[in-house]
């Protein structure tokens, strides 16, 4: 039973790991998207504030540096668009204490969001690397299995085509291995020649013991009466008895193990 539970436990752990990775990726993606959206709006607010501050300078007082900065900021504003929460640039120029406190709070929030977005990006990168490594390992296992299966099949076909005389020898070798290790038969789902011969001998002895006369064939076509049913029951019991005597202890244990595994 432990051999059956172990693959199931491994499959359950693999599914649980995949679900955890998927849930972690979805959660991290959602949080990173939220932080990125807030930072994008804050960036638009900063660009708009820069444009407003530069516009407050008189035109005759602007030098080449101020004019160029205003031109670049205006183009950036056209690309990014207007913010949902603009910064009160005029209040900042008037040295409004509340406006400066609000700006400091927004800078702190922006720095926090920047750190959060970078951490989430690194986390997604790590989860992606883990998922990729697991996928690579799974593909490698399937490749090895397919290579082994195709190689074994190709070898068997080559032997069957070029050296058919070796097939009985290989069958005897496999039967000998199974007879030495009954658990191998259970794992491979095969029965040794010894067990097959024992079944054949048991059936033959039962047929000899219950050999019906020639006239009994016609009677078999009629409805079974009580005596016929008792004869059939006796035939079954005798067959089981012969089979039980012909099979040795190892093959009995093998049959019991395979029946218990169903």
- What digits encode the pLDDT tens for the residues 3-61? 444 555 555 555 555 555 455 556 777 888 888 888 899 999 999 999 999 988 888 88
**Which residues lie below 8 Å from residue 56, measured CB to CB, with a gap of 6+?**
89, 90, 93
Give the per-residue pLDDT at 179: 63
Q: What is the SS3 string spanning 37-69?
A: HHHHHHHHHHHHHHHHHHHCCCHHHCCHHHHHH
Q: Residues 85, 48: contact at Cβ < 8 Å?
A: no
Is the pLDDT assigned to residue 157 strictly greater than 60? yes
Could you give the maximum distance between any two Cα atoms of the chain, in Å? 132
Sign of the C-alpha dihedral computed for residues 30, 31, 32 and 35 taken in this order: positive
CA atoms in the 13 A half-sphere facing the CB of 123:
18
- What digits encode the pLDDT tens for the residues 186-208? 555 555 555 656 666 666 666 67
Mean of the pLDDT values across residues 164-172?
Answer: 71
At 145, the pLDDT band (50, 70, 90 cuts) reads confident
Give the per-residue pLDDT at 7: 53
Give the per-residue pLDDT at 235: 66
At 159, the pLDDT band (50, 70, 90 cuts) reads confident
Q: What mean pLDDT value characterizes the chain?
A: 74
pLDDT, greater one: 118 or 257: 118
Q: How far, in Å, CA of 206 to CA of 145, rounded?
A: 45
Give the per-residue pLDDT at 224: 46
Give the per-residue pLDDT at 155: 80
Give the per-residue pLDDT at 170: 72
CA angle (15, 18, 24) in 5-degree steps: 140
CB atoms within 10 A of CB 235: 14
pLDDT, greater one: 159 or 46: 46
At 120, the pLDDT band (50, 70, 90 cuts) reads confident
Give the per-residue pLDDT at 72: 92
Q: How far, in Å, CA of 151 to CA of 194, rounded?
A: 29
Least confident range of 26-30, 146-150, 221-225: 221-225
Give the per-residue pLDDT at 124: 80
At 242, the pLDDT band (50, 70, 90 cuts) reads low
Rg (CA), the chain: 42
Is the pLDDT assigned to residue 94 strictly greater than 70? yes
CB atoms within 10 A of CB 251: 21
H helices of 84-165, where?
89-93, 97-162
Give the per-residue pLDDT at 246: 64
Q: Residues 123, 28: contact at Cβ < 8 Å?
A: yes
Cα separations in angstroms, 12 against 40, 59, 132, 135: 41, 71, 19, 16
Q: Where are the domains of the chain?
A: 2-145, 160-261
């Amino acid at each position: 039973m432990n051999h059956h539970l172990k693959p199931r436990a491994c499959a359950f752990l693999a599914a649980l790991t995949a679900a955890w990775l998927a849930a972690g990726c979805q959660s991290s993606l959602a949080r990173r998207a939220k932080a990125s959206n807030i930072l994008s709006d804050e960036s638009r607010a900063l660009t708009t504030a820069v444009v407003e501050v530069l516009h407050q300078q008189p035109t005759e007082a602007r030098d080449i540096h101020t004019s160029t900065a205003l031109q670049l900021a205006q183009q950036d504003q056209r690309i990014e668009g207007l913010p949902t929460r603009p910064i009160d640039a005029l209040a900042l120029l008037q040295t409004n204490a509340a406006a400066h406190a609000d700006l400091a709070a927004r800078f702190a929030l922006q720095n926090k969001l920047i750190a959060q977005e970078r951490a989430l990006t690194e986390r997604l990168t790590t989860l992606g690397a883990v998922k990729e490594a697991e996928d690579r390992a799974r593909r490698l296992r399937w490749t090895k299995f397919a290579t082994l299966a195709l190689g074994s099949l190709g070898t068997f076909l080559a032997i069957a085509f070029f050296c058919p005389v070796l097939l009985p020898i290989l069958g005897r070798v496999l039967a000998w291995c199974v007879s030495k290790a009954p658990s191998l038969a259970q794992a491979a789902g095969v029965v040794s020649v010894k067990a097959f011969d024992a079944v054949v001998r048991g059936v033959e002895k039962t047929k000899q013991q219950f050999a019906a006369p020639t006239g009994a064939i016609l009677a078999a076509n009629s409805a079974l009466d009580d005596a016929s049913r008792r004869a059939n029951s006796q035939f079954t019991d005798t067959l089981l008895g012969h089979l039980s005597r012909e099979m040795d202890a190892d093959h009995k244990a093998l049959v019991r193990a395979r029946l218990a595994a169903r």
